[in-house]
Amino acid sequence: MDIESIKTKANNYIQVESEEPFRSEVQNLLRDENWTELSDRFYTEIEFGTGGLRGVIGGGFNRINPYIVRRASAGMAAYMVEVGNADSVVIAHDSRRYSKEFALNTALVFAAYGIKAFLFSELRPTPELSFAIRELGASGGVVVTASHNPPDYNGYKVYWNDGAQVVAPHDTAIIHKVLEIQGAPKAMSLADAKSAGLLEYIDEDIDAKFVEMVKSNVVRPDLLREYGAAAKVVYTPLHGTGAYLVERALGEFNVQVSTVPEQREPDGEFPTVTSPNPEEGAALEMAIAQGRREQAAIVIGTDPDADRIGIAVPDAGDFRLVTGNQLGALLVDYVFSSRAELGTLPPRPAFIKTIVTTELQRRIAEHLGAECYDTLTGFKHIAGLIRDFEQQEEGPNYVIGGEESYGYMIGTAVRDKDAVTATVLAVEMALYHVSQGKSVLQRLEELYIEHGYFQEETISEYFSGRQGQEIMQGMMKTLREDPPKVFGELTVKKVKDYQNGTSFDWASGRTSSDIDLPRSNVLQYYLEDGSIVSARPSGTEPKIKFYASCCDDDELPLPEAKERVAEKLDMVREEIRGWIQKAKENAGE
């Protein structure tokens, strides 16, 4: 981008951005003639994708700031008015920099369009936002959060009237409306919005109802009360939104919760962790250390907006991290087997997982009598299936579902991943196995023996800036047009392309249009032994995620099966690393 174009765009931004320090950031960059930084802020506009926005906080069209938030809100509000779904919205925010300010900006724009905003006065978890939309009968909602991203990020997620993130046709239609907004979006003043009855703060009433919903999903409440009083749960909200509701829900079952004091208070700088991501073991280090000291029954962490959960459990005098796939398998096993035993399963009980989640969960659920369904990655797709179920006469009844990245949804009162309910259920599951004289890990080993050994690994590669986007696009193009035939000694049998909705069989050479899911830029390679390798660019971050799920069905003793699967993962990992290196070399890195 040439300097004159940068100047023009920067001055356009200064004209439409009313708030400091965002205007002055850009003015100072112009004064200092920092063309490199200005180019990064203006070479493109931050994309309002199908789920909303996520990006680095700062002044500029390629950043998250008050203008971008107001523009997104105006586009969504205009669309809601157009389709006659414009009664009210619920707005929540997390602990990040400017989250509270962005949430208020959002509310005042909706008010300007005549849409009442129910605004949480302080930070609240994402699942409570979804719950509140349904509880209040709102037309939609917004949560200001960047989930587990680094401190300099923030984001904006949009929801429809069923409490789920927007899906087709609303998602693309909202994007078009956002792009139509030119100039400074209209917004009411706080005083005018309040006096017009278009802004109402909500807090304790929704909190109480949300906690009751969480408690209603407990399978064996008496067991939780009996064993929870004697066991200790170490918990960390990782400086986010989870502490109040997690402590309250568990406390109402008399469970002893010991929250990591250094990480309990909300802090958008996340000062005690490199990344507030429960997928990464390092995020739980302080909690695990406290768990050792206090001899905890389980260690749990939730991410900043409390929609994802990570756990560690006792293992030979120390603690072992449990993966998202493993925890999902344990929860599926516990919920379906327990509810079947207690006679509380609905007719046609249903389980939903994403296409990159381990097949072990399907085997467990089907063994326990559940109908099983796959969706694309993202809980909006799980929610979409639930919506389809509810429209059928005597259709399937959703019980539980999840994805490999530590996200789970129990019941239907929340239509997004919910770490608050998942935390309570994980504690219950762990204490149940203790009551049966075994550990969580012993139950996991039993599941492997019964259903086959599975091991998964996710490889994420970041590609920042304009060149990064080009590398990602080039890599996916190559993998699509020239798919691998082998991973080490493992032959590829089938290739699924979710962008085209097709499957290609190497043996017959035939392509079939047999994928009945929304189009998505995902490739999957099915290997001869049942292992699956997937490639998917992230929808929220500048990275490609590769998912490897390797298994062994030869009924070997478990130690031998683990060894064989580890060897398979090594072969897959080496192949993927080769793809990444080649893509970077082709780009001249």
Per-residue pLDDT band for 588 (boundaries 50, 70, 90) equals low
pLDDT one-digit tens code per residue, 196-214: 999 999 999 999 999 999 9
Please tell me whether residues 158 and 168 are part of one structural domain.
yes
Asked if residue 463 lies in contact with residue 543, where contact means CB atoms within 8 angstroms, the answer is: yes
Q: Which of 143, 168, 202 is the last residue of a domain?
A: 202
For residue 252, tell me if it sits in a domain.
no
pLDDT one-digit tens code per residue, 519-576: 999 999 999 999 999 999 876 667 899 999 999 987 889 999 999 999 999 999 999 9
What residues make up the domain containing 414?
325-451
Residue 257 host element (H or E): strand 256-259
Flag whether pLDDT at 114 surpasses 80. yes
Average pLDDT over residues 58-86: 97
The pLDDT value given to residue 473:
86
For residue 418, tell me if it sits in a domain.
yes
170 token code pair: 């609303």
Asked if residue 26 lies in contact with residue 15, where contact means CB atoms within 8 angstroms, the answer is: no
The pLDDT value given to residue 539:
64
For residue 231, tell me if it sits in a domain.
no
For residue 549, tell me if it sits in a domain.
yes
Q: What is the CA radius of gyration of the chain?
A: 24
Please tell me whether residues 554 and 482 are part of one structural domain.
yes
Please give the sequence-ordered ranges of beta strands (E in DSSP) within 33-139, or none if there are none: 52-56, 88-93, 116-120
pLDDT one-digit tens code per residue, 247-267: 999 999 999 999 999 999 999
Please tell me whether residues 126 and 159 are part of one structural domain.
yes
Please tell me whether residues 53 and 18 are part of one structural domain.
yes
Flag whether pLDDT at 288 surpasses 60. yes
For residue 227, tell me if it sits in a domain.
no
Flag whether pLDDT at 179 surpasses 80. yes
Which of 39, 147, 338, 405 is the catalytic position?
147
We report the CATH number of the domain holding residue 492 as 3.30.310.50
Please tell me whether residues 502 and 371 are part of one structural domain.
no
Q: Residue 108: which of 91, 85, 123 has the closest Cα? A: 91
Q: Which amino acid is at 295?
A: Q
Q: Residue 278: which of 167, 387, 422, 437 has the closest Cα? A: 422
Please tell me whether residues 480 and 412 are part of one structural domain.
no
Please tell me whether residues 7 and 42 are part of one structural domain.
yes
Q: Which of 172, 202, 232 is the last residue of a domain?
A: 202
For residue 511, tell me if it sits in a domain.
yes
Please tell me whether residues 123 and 138 are part of one structural domain.
yes
Domain tally, the chain = 3
Please tell me whether residues 447 and 457 are part of one structural domain.
no
For residue 277, tell me if it sits in a domain.
no
For a pLDDT cut of 70, what percent of the chain falls above it?
Answer: 99
We report the CATH number of the domain holding residue 46 as 3.40.120.10
Task: Catalogue the long-range contacts made by 250-254 (C-beta closer than 8 Å, 24 or more residues apart).
Answer: 250/423, 250/424, 250/427, 252/211, 252/215, 253/215, 253/218, 253/221, 253/224, 253/225, 253/228, 253/424, 254/225, 254/228, 254/229
Please tell me whether residues 384 and 458 are part of one structural domain.
no
Average pLDDT over residues 352-361: 97
The pLDDT value given to residue 467:
74
Please tell me whether residues 484 and 399 are part of one structural domain.
no
* H helix count then E strand count, the chain: 20, 23
Q: Which of 425, 451, 477 is the last residue of a domain?
A: 451
Flag whether pLDDT at 362 surpasses 60. yes
* Residue 435: active-site member: no
User: Helix 419-435 crosses helix 243-251 at what angle (to 10 degrees)?
Assistant: 40
Please tell me whether residues 357 and 345 are part of one structural domain.
yes
Flag whether pLDDT at 330 surpasses 60. yes
Flag whether pLDDT at 589 surpasses 60. no
For residue 225, tell me if it sits in a domain.
no
